[in-house]
Structure 1
């Protein structure tokens, strides 16, 4: 039976909750999973634990302000920065004793965070999987607005009216938003339990999501609205696997700068998926990721 253990890593005066599936002493570099948001939880990327069946430990954690880690509802925009989450990741790697050799899987915002981590060229990073992520939020918003225009006119009108009025917390806005999410975020209806848990967690404490992103995936008015890593992608010096879905809100136009600017890169688009191939085409996605990681280990 696969070993599973949970713990908390002290981070400054707070705590980062983590879970390790598998044995960190197996001799194979572990996979560290960075969840999205900012402001989601590890639940919706829980499927990555499947990788542990290959003999590689998998580390999930809830980023600060989310899930089972310390919540800080009173902190404002100046506190919630990319640097904060980079420091938290470094702290966790050190706490677990794996900073010398590890892989990263970053999904959506997790891929943004992972790319920021990778451009710093940490010595122990072996490879990174960037899944369903933008290298630029302006590009993300541009494509999200294009996808919005394909929604039924009534849904578009409802979204625009509430955004203009500042009433994006209304039930009507949430219902209209669901129409976009079922097309471009997760096409499994009803939403799988682990995905629903993450969305419920955001609703319970939207501090990080609302501050850094905004009220929805396509109405980005938070502190990340002008973020970009495109001009630094050439600094990434480890192999990169890009993953996206055919119906993804991270459209091919969004993902393309990663492919254009990273030296050692490959890209797979899952034809039956939107923003969550790790859920929508779980078995195929896990097989791809496991094969990629094994290949990098074989390269030494």
Structure 2
């Protein structure tokens, strides 16, 4: 059971608002763990399980990135508005508004993992540690691997997907039903899907502006503005202890994750053998064990 928030609300970001939730005490002396969700265009809900870390005295901050959830929705904005720099600026603003920019940790999942890697590569002085979870280092790598994973789907399923993608009819029920084959194998292997995951899933469905613009109609058909984006070129600039997480059946395959391991100077890679894209939901006890071990070691590493 997740813990109740000790504070939540919104902070101004430009002329918009960013929704946040704090679990634990930001003034405890421990660097808060700021949780950056995936998508882009998803919400914090599917990552609420990380609040369990607050039972150990670890403050945890969740937020909804602009465009969805409790933050400002802007369905009329086009691709020129929804940029990586927008979300980097929003993260910087949140850290400043919560007065934690001088002492914090980052956890980024999926797209959020790429975003926090880019943030960390600028070497912000207050960043103490980094967790990159289930994220590719490059969308071109991701697209190559999607072809590999799709080739393992039942032929009739992939044929249905390809037919609708070619026709531009990816909003149909038939396409969504075929999508589920991939999602149940490489995104979340639990049946039924957990409530927290479904909450974020429906948030994207209710307002797909950001997801459709930057990603595309599905996890494996990336035709949005991110299709050529990579953080491989900046991984070597990350100067904090970094934990990389992925699942054995993850849509973020080892090929897409390996650049983080090979290029970040101080890094450890943990693969969850019974998980796909959401090990915090699929193997929650092991996930929390790995996270707690990392959080204990970070201060020791810094002192060393």
What is the TM-score when the length of structure 2 is the normalising length? 0.97
Residue 140 of structure 1 aligns with which residue? 142
Alpha-carbon displacement from aligned partner over 1:201-223 (angstroms, at most 9, x marks no partner): 10100000000000000100000
- What is the aligned partner in structure 2 of residue 276 from structure 1? 278
State how far apart, in whole Å, the 2-side matches of 1:203 and 1:173 are: 14
Q: What is the Cα deviation at residue 2 of structure 1? A: 6.5
TM-score, length of structure 1 as denominator length? 0.98
Are 2:246 and 2:272, in contact at CA under 8 Å, matched by a contact in 1? yes
Does structure 2 conserve the Cα–Cα contact (< 8 Å) formed by 1:3 and 1:23? no
Q: 2:189 aligns with which of 182, 187, 190?
A: 187
| 4+ residue runs over 3 A deviation | none
Shift of 1:7: 1.1
2:226 pairs with 206, 220, 224, which one? Answer: 224
Q: 1:159 aligns with which of 154, 158, 161?
A: 161
Contact kept, 8 Å, 1:29 with 1:102, in 2: the verdict is yes
| Aligned-residue RMSD, C-alpha | 0.9
Instruction: Name the CA distance, whole Å, in 2 between partners of 1:41 and 1:221.
Output: 21
1:150 — aligned with what? 152
Q: Distance in 1 between the 2:4 and 2:132 partners?
A: 26
Q: What runs of 5+ residues in structure 2 fail to find an aligned partner?
A: none
1:285 aligns with 287
Matched length: 300
Q: Is the 8 A contact 2:5 2:21 kept in 1?
A: no
Matches within 5 A, 1:107-146: 107-146=109-148
Which among 223, 238, 241 is matched to residue 236 of structure 1? 238
Distance 1:92 1:283 in 2: 30
Instruction: Note if contact 1:6-1:20 (Cα within 8 Å) is conserved in structure 2.
Output: yes
Query: SS of the counterpart of 1:36?
Result: coil
In the TM superposition, residue 185 of structure 1 has moved relative to its aligned partner by 0.1
SS in 2 for 1:134: coil
Q: Residue in 1 aligned with 2:6?
A: 4
Selected match of 1:85 from 63, 83, 87: 87
Distance in 1 of aligned mates of 2:15 and 2:63: 17
Whether contact under 8 Å (1:2, 1:22) holds in the other structure is no
Aligned position for 1:34: 36
1:295 aligned to which of 268, 283, 297: 297
Structure 2 CA distance for aligned equivalents of residues 108 and 201 of structure 1: 17
